[in-house]
Amino acid sequence: MIGASSGGSGFFLIIIVAFVLLWFIVVRPQRKRQTQQQQMLGDLRVGDEVLTAGGIYGTVSRLDEDQVTVEIAPKTEVRVARRAIAGVTREPEPGEDGEAETEGQDGERWRSAFDDEDLADSKESETSNEEKRG
């Protein structure tokens, strides 16, 4: 009888450890990305250059509670949901360190809430590709 109950508690312990690992691997990073995205959307200002989730570049011309009006060409404006803004470009302010930024084709600096993860993933894949070759 004692052996049967200790086997059940061992299985229960493995399940608890699996859930804790799942939390640290999946849930925590996702919450961090959501927080970064919400902060970026909260910091939007008129005049910011943005990239929408649909791949459209433009300049913010008006901000509402849930919508953003983006000028995509002279005298051409589109309304998009605030949550559809994928990235914002700004001139780096003095003292801003550690923020993920990528450089575009024209030398523009784009910052997205998802860049931290993308940069880490691309470095890992480059390293694993080099290991496979050599």
Q: Do the beta carbons of residue 17 and residue 90 sit within 8 Å?
A: no
Q: What is the 3-state secondary structure (H, E, C) of 56-69?
A: CEEEEEEECCCEEE
- Taking the chain, what is the end-to-end CA distance rounded to the nearest angstrom? 56
Residues 73-130 have pLDDT tens digits of 999 999 999 888 888 886 655 555 544 445 555 555 566 556 555 555 544 545 445 4
Give me the helices (H) in the chain, please: 2-22, 28-42, 115-133
What pLDDT is attached to residue 109? 58
Q: Is 99 helix (H, G, I), strand (E, B) or coil?
A: coil
What pLDDT is attached to residue 108? 56
pLDDT average, residue stretch 12-22: 91
Q: Is 71 helix (H, G, I), strand (E, B) or coil?
A: strand
Q: Where are the domains of the chain?
A: 2-133
What pLDDT is attached to residue 69? 92
Answer yes or no: pTM beyond 0.75. Answer: no
Assess whether pLDDT exceeds 60 at residue 59: yes
